[in-house]
Amino acid sequence: YERVGDVQGQAREASLGDPKAAMASYQKALSIRESLARRKITPTDVMRELVPNHGKLSDLYFAMNDNKASLEQSRAGLAICERLIALPGATRLDRMRLASNYLDYGYKQALPGGDRKAGIEYCRKALGMFDELGREEPSNPRLLRNFALGYDRTGELLATDPAARTEAIAMYRNGLAIKNRLLAADPNNTDYRRLAAYSNLDLGKLLAGAGDPQSAARHS
């Protein structure tokens, strides 16, 4: 059901563009997994599968401008991550998943209509975890990609406050540096190239707005 939902209307990838059908499929997958979790059939594995299930529903609600439902799904996924990390058999992947969910929940919470301050703190918590994980696995491309996106999203939130502009610029620069590392290792990766291009564009706009056109031009 989840894979059918991806094809029907996954919010982050190419799909058939049918979000209502995707929503129904994701909800069905979620219902089945929750039923399995209640029966205690391989509960840890099912819990781990519930996290992306909630995440896809959150992204789909977000794309449909239902921010309240999106935040509820993100929070549900985060709660499961926090439970998993407290278990004796918690893995490094569980920690990375928790960091990613801190970032997702924090970013969505900090948007207009939410709790900006609390959301940014969740994002900072995610960055701290990514930094710690990065020291343990400095060449993990998935981890580095998420770390870079963490800098981008936190920088985006900070950039809306003129008093935090300097820190926002630093966040974007840190994210771009990581993307350039990924590109150096895999120069033909179109995903990394696209992400780096957006970072340059966003950083250039921020620098121009800060009154530094020469630095901005270097990122255009």
5-42 confidence digits (pLDDT tens): 989 988 777 788 898 999 999 999 999 999 888 876 56
Lowest model confidence (mean pLDDT) among 67-71, 169-173, 206-210 = 206-210
Cβ neighbours for 130, distance < 8 A, ≥ 6 positions apart: 96, 99, 143, 146, 147, 150
pLDDT tens for residues 119-133?
999 999 999 999 999
Q: Cα–Cα distances in Å, from 190 out to 13, 70, 85, 131, 193?
A: 14, 29, 33, 25, 5
Residue given tokens 């992306």 in the structure block: 52
Q: What is the mean pLDDT of residues 94-106?
A: 97
What pLDDT sits at residue 39?
A: 76
In this predicted structure, the answer to whether residue 94 has a pLDDT above a threshold of 80 is yes
What pLDDT sits at residue 154?
A: 97
In this predicted structure, the answer to whether residue 197 has a pLDDT above a threshold of 90 is yes
d(CA 215, CA 220): 9
Residue given tokens 């981890």 in the structure block: 143
Question: Which three-class secondary structure state does DSSP give residue 212?
Answer: coil
At 57, the amino acid letter reads L
Cβ neighbours for 180, distance < 8 A, ≥ 6 positions apart: 196
d(CA 67, CA 75): 12
Cβ neighbours for 39, distance < 8 A, ≥ 6 positions apart: none
Q: Give the pLDDT band of residue 109 (cuts 50, 70, 90).
A: very high
State the chain's mean pLDDT as an integer: 93
Lowest model confidence (mean pLDDT) among 91-95, 170-174, 210-214 = 210-214
Q: What is the mean pLDDT of residues 169-192?
A: 96
- Count of H-run helices and E-run strands, the chain: 10, 0
Q: What is the pTM of this model?
A: 0.89
What pLDDT sits at residue 36?
A: 86
Q: What is the mean pLDDT of residues 38-50?
A: 80
Does residue 118 contact residue 128 with C-beta atoms inside 8 Å? no
Q: What is the mean pLDDT of residues 145-169?
A: 95
Q: Cα–Cα distances in Å, from 215 out to 162, 181, 206?
A: 18, 21, 10
In this predicted structure, the answer to whether residue 144 has a pLDDT above a threshold of 90 is yes
What pLDDT sits at residue 54?
A: 96
Tokens of 212: 């530094």
